[in-house]
Structure 1
Amino acid sequence: MFDHIVFGVSDYAASKTFFLKALEPLGIVIVQERQGGIELSSDGKVSLCLLQTEEKPAHLHLAFVAESRQQVDAFHRAALDAGGKDNGGPGLRPNYHANYYAAFVIGPDGHNIEVVCHKPEA
């Protein structure tokens, strides 16, 4: 559906560090970086772009797909290590569907970052 998503961050260096570390378990890496902005991707096609802004960014809910429940667990640990605030540890959310396994962390600008695996436990 999306080609890329762009949003502003109040502290570019802190957000860059947070997102790179938190999303590393998903294979997300830097595709391109220019002054005050970074483009991240795991497939080289769809990307997430962070840009320094003077405005206070509105809070977003960003959900990333994981290939396994272990990736969800690894994301949660990495995001907390990167300074994120726990907003719901790894676990099933059967109110969405029987195999909805997700974790939630609040990032540097208050964005709710989620990683979800829709597959049954291996």
Structure 2
Amino acid sequence: MFDHVKFGVRDYAASRTFYLQALEPLGVTIGGEGDPSYGIEICGSNNASLCLFQTGERTAPMHIAFVAQTREQVDAFHRAALAAGAKDNGPPGLRPKYHANYYAAFVIDPDGHNIEAVCHAAG
């Protein structure tokens, strides 16, 4: 639905490291990067990108969900995000209240955002 989402982070270096490490299991790449006030563009396989830049402002909490092709990618995302310093906000598992095959994991990023990886494929 979107081409890119860009938002400010309080600690650019920490957020850059966090997102690159946490999303590595989902196959992201760096599309471009400038100084921290410009930021970094982190690209997914579907041509959509997440862009981060340094800001002194506190942003409102967001929920961002990333597509995983497999449940193993969701598991790997969760492990990588925790290793990168995230707080657990829901371990990998089925969330049948959304639909029968909704397999997701949730973490809190360095700025307090709820970050999710979700796979909609059956088992």
Between the aligned partners of 2:30 and 2:73, the Cα distance in structure 1 is 19
TM-score, L = length of structure 1: 0.97
The letter for the 2-side match of 1:32 is G
Q: Which moved more, 1:73-82 or 1:36-45?
A: 36-45
Number of the residue aligned with 1:75: 77
Q: For residues 19-34 of structure 1, what are the structure 2 equivalents within 5 Å?
A: 19-34=19-34
Where does structure 1 differ by over 3 angstroms across 4 or more consecutive aligned residues?
none
Between the aligned partners of 2:90 and 2:67, the Cα distance in structure 1 is 16
- Contact 1:31–1:44 (CA under 8 A) maintained in structure 2: no
Number of the residue aligned with 1:41: 43
- Contact 1:7–1:50 (CA under 8 A) maintained in structure 2: yes
Number of the residue aligned with 1:89: 91
Between the aligned partners of 1:98 and 1:88, the Cα distance in structure 2 is 17
Number of the residue aligned with 1:11: 11
Can you give the 5+ residue segments of structure 2 that lack an aligned partner in the other structure?
none
Give the counterpart of 1:106 among 95, 108, 113: 108
Between the aligned partners of 1:59 and 1:84, the Cα distance in structure 2 is 15
Between the aligned partners of 2:47 and 2:90, the Cα distance in structure 1 is 29
Between the aligned partners of 1:21 and 1:90, the Cα distance in structure 2 is 17
Q: How many residues align?
A: 121
The letter for the 1-side match of 2:69 is E
The letter for the 2-side match of 1:119 is A
Between the aligned partners of 2:20 and 2:59, the Cα distance in structure 1 is 19
- The 3-state SS of whatever aligns with 1:35 is coil
Deviation readout 1:39-90 (Å, 9 max, x if unpaired): 0012372110001001011111000010000000000000000000000000
CA-based RMSD: 0.8
Matching of residue 60 in structure 1 with residue 62 in structure 2: yes
Q: How high is the sequence identity, in percent, across the aligned residues?
A: 68
